Structure 1
Amino acid sequence: MTTLALPRLALTAGEPAGVGPELLVRLAATSLAANFVAITDRALLERAATRCGASLQLIDDDGEAITRRLPGTLRVRHVPLVMTEVPGQPDPRNARHVLDTLSEAANGCMAGRYAAVVTAPLQKSSINDAGIRFSGHTEFFAEQSRADVVMMLASPELRVALATTHLPLHAVSAAIDAVSLERTLRIVHQELCAKFGFDAPRIAVLGLNPHAGESGHIGREEIDTIIPVMNKLRQEGMQLLGPLPADTAFVPAQRERYDAVLAMYHDQALPVLKSEAFDRTVNITLGLPFIRTSVDHGTALDLASTGKADPSSLIAAARMALDLVTRSTTHKNP
């Protein structure tokens, strides 16, 4: 019997002064069947392991396939820090290190060296303080791969994609136009097929306004933009439900009718998801030419070096990446 090689998952540690390095150490201690390759500074991981009181064996990554990984072992592709980290105190001088780890992960995935990338949280402000314009992981990977992307957050029970992401509420309506909404729905549909294995995914689309506009009496965005786009894509065979009022879209009877939700803005649906499964929610970037998952929390600077950081979200992100790798491989080779 031939033993299959373990999927190679690239791990980035994010902000060196945050909890990311410690989370990678905790992930390495699990028995997950993956060939984890940490793209970061080797000594940073060693210091994180010491702070956690965890046993960690680091192995220089040689690119070779492995069929078994012992808990507590982690392969490393060394990207040196500029300055030794001080837990809880981000140093803009390490901004280039952080971006270099992301570039290696993205380029490695596109070159086939890694099956997916799993990212720990970074500190956007520290990168911007270094004089480097930076919006976040999602935008960085989109630019690296020249792809149109959509943010999705998923738990075992619910998948929510976003038509807009980190915008002030007053800017949301203007950001939802027919072109962007159609592009977003096409990406969500395509990725539900390619990465999640659905043959004919059912997507619930939320209205922007209360009661989905109530036939134009509480706003016209549904009538003028959302419904025409949905009707156009329905004629192509997409199964689109709605637009649904957001206040009833997540009741059990509705959930049985769809496989994923497209919300119009960040806080329209994510409070529901996070209140139900905060430690099991994973951030997924749809539309990339590779699989990328991430934790759904920040750098937790106040917890850095305390050994109290909860690795549940990173472990969930790694599990999701493994699942998506398996599903996408099966989809390509039925």
Structure 2
Amino acid sequence: MLPYQNLHQAEAALGRELTVAEKLWFNYSASKPDYLLHYHNILFLVLIYSTAPLPYMFIELSRSKKIEKHKIQSKVKNSFQDMLKCYKDVMRTFIVVVGPFQLFSYPLIKLTGIRTGLPLPSGWEMFWQLIVYFLIEDYTSYWVHRLLHSNWGYEKIHHLHHEYSAPMGFAAPYAHWSEILILGVPAFLGPALVPGHITNYWLWFVLRQVEAIEIHSGYDLSWSPTKFIPFYGGAEYHDYHHYVGRRSQSNFASVFTYCDYLYGTDKGYRSHKSIILRKMEETLERNGHRREGSYNSMTSQDFKSE
């Protein structure tokens, strides 16, 4: 709740005229208590999870040949019933686990210093905070993910997430309830260490969920804007982790690829791609053609499971 009765008081306190965005924020949040603004995050999580996978669902159900070439595991076809069941299972976990966790985490949000008042952060401030959040979450979740692939972690917790060896968008948060809580720690660590405005806190969780849905989509779309992000793993990269399943000791990172490279946990993935490329080149040579390039230039259709 803002400590101003009207816009004039807010402008007097800041010593300047409010921006358009700040006026909108004042009109929306002035009379709302801070805990209610924090609870908005629950609505955003449900809304994004319910809508962001829909384009991939329509692509999957359309069976369009033009789009099908971008499907990573082309032999696996998910039905509408499969997707609906996954959605219901995840929503049940949201209601039973994520919702109550968000409700009871408000005191921690206040303790970290995440603010709700004026002024709003600048675009650059939000941008650099988001970069920090992604880097912190990516590094810490990498190690948590590796622990979940220990014998005990996989058998007791992580096996549920790997029920989808060919993942789809709705399966991004499909996991054991304890895994959702465990992986919530790396996601919250960035905002806790570098607290900002509640609007950037919302945006961080929205972007993180959209990213998780993309890498679980099962489609490596060549026109995705994430192709321009340095060291970004993407759907093809994470799909290999699910494709191998329990035996996977590769591609643990959630967003970027540098951790897997630095700690040598991408060797299986790179070896798999090089084998596929070699088989393709042998086939092309037998047909009187030769393909130039390395495995780094392969497209998604080159990476389909056999």
Shorter-chain TM-score tier? under 0.3
Q: Which has the higher strand share?
A: 1
What TM-score, normalized to structure 1?
Answer: 0.25
What TM-score, normalized to structure 2?
Answer: 0.27
Structure with larger Rg: 2
